[in-house]
């Protein structure tokens, strides 16, 4: 039970801080922020537990049985999440990603009925060619 408090609750605190600075976040963005904070804080907390507290076996059992380890890891986890949320805020405010989508130009072939010529046009001009072809066909039929 203590593991849940140690690992999941500090990420909620970090999301609340991010939500305080970004007022117009959607639920989807809040969920992404929570999952990101949870993932990075879990990795950092496991690194701290392995290297500084000497917990090499069952981490969840160690947190549930040792109250002092639970208190220390809870405080460290809160501090890690606060630092991570401020790093995330700085990244969100100062870094922009611009994605440019370039559409492929499709060439269409139109066949005119006068001389059986094949004209290749870009997709932008294809509507004009269809209209002109249909008009010439109608004129030919009227004759």
Predicted confidence at residue 116, as pLDDT, reads 52
pLDDT top residue among 100 and 37: 37
| Mean pLDDT across 12-26 | 88
Predicted confidence at residue 45, as pLDDT, reads 87
Name which of 1-15, 51-65, 69-83 the model is least confident about. Answer: 51-65
Instruction: Tell me 99's DSSP state.
Output: -
Computed on alpha carbons and rounded to an integer, the radius of gyration of the chain in Å comes to: 31
The yes-or-no verdict on residue 135 having pLDDT over 80 is no
Predicted confidence at residue 78, as pLDDT, reads 92
3-state secondary structure of 109: strand
Q: Distance between CA atoms of 78 and 6, rounded to whole angstroms? A: 8
Q: Distance between CA atoms of 17 and 110, rounded to whole angstroms? A: 60
Antiparallel, parallel or unpaired: β 108-111 and 118-121: antiparallel
Number of H helices, E strands in the chain: 6, 2
The yes-or-no verdict on residue 46 having pLDDT over 50 is yes
| Mean pLDDT across 4-32 | 88
Predicted confidence at residue 50, as pLDDT, reads 87
Predicted confidence at residue 48, as pLDDT, reads 87
- Residue 112 CB contacts under 8 Å (≥ 6 apart), including other chains: 119, 133, 136
Are the CB atoms for 55 and 49 separated by under 8 Å?
yes
Condensed to tens digits (0 to 9), the pLDDT of residues 47-69 reads 888 888 888 777 788 888 888 88
Is the full-model pTM beyond 0.85?
no
């Amino acid at each position: 039970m203590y593991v849940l408090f140690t690992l999941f609750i500090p990420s909620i605190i970090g999301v609340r801080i991010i939500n305080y600075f970004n007022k117009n976040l959607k639920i989807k963005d809040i969920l992404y922020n929570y999952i990101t904070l949870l993932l990075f804080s879990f990795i950092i907390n496991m690194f701290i537990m392995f290297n500084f507290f000497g917990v090499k076996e069952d981490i969840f059992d160690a947190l549930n049985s040792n109250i002092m380890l639970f208190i220390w890891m809870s405080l460290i986890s809160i501090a890690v999440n606060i630092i991570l949320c401020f790093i995330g805020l700085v990244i969100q405010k100062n870094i922009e990603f611009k994605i440019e989508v370039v559409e492929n130009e499709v060439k269409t072939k139109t066949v005119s009925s006068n001389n059986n010529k094949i004209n290749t046009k870009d997709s932008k001009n294809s509507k004009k060619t269809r209209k002109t072809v249909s008009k010439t066909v109608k004129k030919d039929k009227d004759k």
